[in-house]
Amino acid sequence: MKTVVAVRDVNNPYASPNPGFAPPGRSVETEPVGEVNYALTADDVIAFNLFHLGHTREGKLSSLRHRLLAPALLTALGVVFFRLGQPTPLLAFLILSVPYFFLSPSLQRFRVRRQIRRAPFPRPVARVSVSDYGLSENTADMHVARSWKLIKRLLIGPEGAFFYVDRNVAMIVPKWAFNEEWQYQSFVENARSLASQAGVNLG
């Protein structure tokens, strides 16, 4: 497997490359090592958060709480008014709660995108590598190495691979950072294999 270097257009950090992979002329291959270099973008973090909300138990519970909390509060407030002899607010709150329940997922996705795009991107170029020990991330100012036993699970989304270090936090390896599909698949399978040798099933 090769080391792959891929950096998105710095003049437009929010732009997506061609579907799936880095655009022509913006990535090169160097010596064969099990690692990949890339600068994480807002699109990558958004893709992870949306995938997490829709495909994990923790994300689905968070979405459910988000959908139910406001209607529950409005209904409780309406009941208070009803007991005070004012039934109109209860009816109004119930009417408002129904569309909110169905629109809540879209509103939550909108808030996720808006919040992430306010953060500084792209992030510094990172070198992410897999080894017998675990998963490592290196930038000019930081070095983080996690043993395989600290990686909770590996989930594969449409936009990349997510190595969870906590129930809601993951190291993001975007698919676009690889020149070819086989390189991305090789990186993922190599991670699973190394973790398995360390006694860890990433799923």
pLDDT in tens, the chain (203 residues): 455 544 443 343 333 343 334 444 334 443 333 799 999 999 999 999 999 999 999 999 988 888 887 777 777 877 777 778 888 777 777 777 888 888 888 989 999 999 999 998 888 999 999 999 999 999 998 999 999 999 999 999 999 999 999 999 999 999 999 998 889 999 999 999 999 999 999 98
Domain total for the chain? 2
Q: Which of 117, 132, 160 is the last residue of a domain?
A: 117
Nearest-10 Cα torsion for 55, 57, 62, 68 = 100
Angle value at C-alpha 42, between 102 and 148, nearest 5 degrees? 95
Q: Does 110 share its domain with 130?
A: no
Q: Does 9 share its domain with 33?
A: yes
Residue 90: which domain range?
Answer: 57-117
Identity of the residue numbered 96 = L
Quote the CA–CA distance of 35 and 2 in Å, as a whole number.
7
Q: Does 33 share its domain with 129?
A: yes
- Pair 34, 129: CB distance under 8 Å: yes
In a domain, 112, yes or no: yes
- pTM of the entire structure? 0.73
Q: Does 99 share its domain with 137?
A: no
